[in-house]
Amino acid sequence: MKEKHESTALTFSPADSIAARHELFDVMNHYPATPEEKERSMGLFIRGSLLARFLGISEIYQQIVKLPGIIIDLGTWRGQTAVLCENFRAIYEPLHFNRRIVCFDTFEGYVGFSNKDKPTSLHRDGTYGLGGNDYAELLRTLLLLHEKNNAMGHFHGKHKVIKGDCRVTLPKFFDENSNELVSLAFFDVNSFEPTVQSFELIYKHLVPGGIIALWQLTRDSIPAEGMAYTKTILNKYPHTVFRSASYPGLCYIKK
């Protein structure tokens, strides 16, 4: 049986809100409209907390518009952040064809958890798996379709989806692309060792003013990013740290 997403277990919502959420899902699944009308009406079904997440990503993206460099989505999972970044690229800088997005994930679940990461049934090696190569290929297709739908859609194929353990794939990527500058990187790896190793490597390629965004920095249920920050990042790497105005759980470091 497929494991449930953590949002079914870790939530601040009361029972009435959870029940309303399930009713909303039911309306969405049975909404009487053509595909074109339903797609144009997705705002009917996006809850405020998810909209806040979108706004948080947009808030960060707008800060890199004047910076050169690729965007890295580390621990991309289903790829929603990467797809949003492609769409924000088309909105905020439609002629910037060098703004490539590179997604990294095992697509087979978390790796690198140790006892210090306090593994649980929700967060441990193997959770959040999506079917490996099949999902990586689906995400490639989704990114390509969004590119083709966006302004200047004839210029597509800019983005990459790289499958595997980031402790292996990220160094390999930079070995093969030592010229790449990084303007923005999203982290959602959630185990200590891979977070520290990946941060150190990405920071070397991060342009001045570039941003590393951390989805779980202040969450006590997933301590890896907080530990990486206090034990390694805080006193070793020059930076300023902020939190998103619209999505407080999203924190980011600016070089």
Q: Which residues contact 205 (CB under 8 A, 6 or more apart)?
A: 69, 174, 180, 181, 182
* pLDDT class of 218 with cuts at 50, 70, 90: very high
Which run of H or of E encompasses 242?
A: strand 240-243
Distance CA 60, CA 142 (A): 22
140-168 pLDDT tens trace: 999 999 999 999 999 999 999 999 999 99
Structural domain includes residue 8: no
Q: Residue 1: inside a domain, yes or no?
A: no
Q: CB burial class (10 A; 0-12, 13-18, 19+) of residue 254?
A: middle
Query: For residue 123, what pLDDT band results from cuts at 50, 70 and 90?
Result: confident
Beta bridge partners of 46: none
22 within a domain of the structure (yes/no): yes
Indicate the average pLDDT of the chain.
Answer: 93
Residues 29 and 150 in one domain: no
Give the model's confidence band at 216: pLDDT under 50 very low, under 70 low, under 90 confident, else very high.
Answer: very high
- Does a structural domain hold residue 223? yes
- For 97, residues 6+ apart whose C-beta sits below 8 A from its C-beta are 152, 155, 158
Q: Which of 109-123, 217-231, 237-251 has the lowest mean pLDDT?
A: 109-123
Q: Does residue 72 form part of some domain? A: yes
pLDDT of residue 4: 59
Q: Do residues 22 and 64 share a domain?
A: no
Structure tokens at 246: 């619209």
For 88-116, the pLDDT digits (tens) are 999 999 999 999 999 999 999 888 888 77
Residues 66 and 120 in one domain: yes
In tens, the pLDDT along 173-212 reads 999 999 999 999 999 999 999 999 999 999 999 999 999 9
In a domain, 99, yes or no: yes
Same domain flag for 135 and 149: yes
pTM of the model: 0.92
> How far, CA to CA in Å, does 14 sit from each of 9, 23, 49, 222?
12, 15, 14, 22
Query: Is 206 found in the same domain as 96?
Result: yes
Tally of domains within the chain: 2
Is a pLDDT exceeding 60 seen at residue 230? yes
Domain that holds residue 93: 48-254
Residues 217 and 99 in one domain: yes
Above 90 in pLDDT, residue 54?
A: yes
Percent of the chain with pLDDT over 70: 95
| pLDDT at position 14 over 50 | yes
Residues 113 and 27 in one domain: no
Residues in the chain, total: 255
Q: Do 56 and 130 have their domain in common?
A: yes
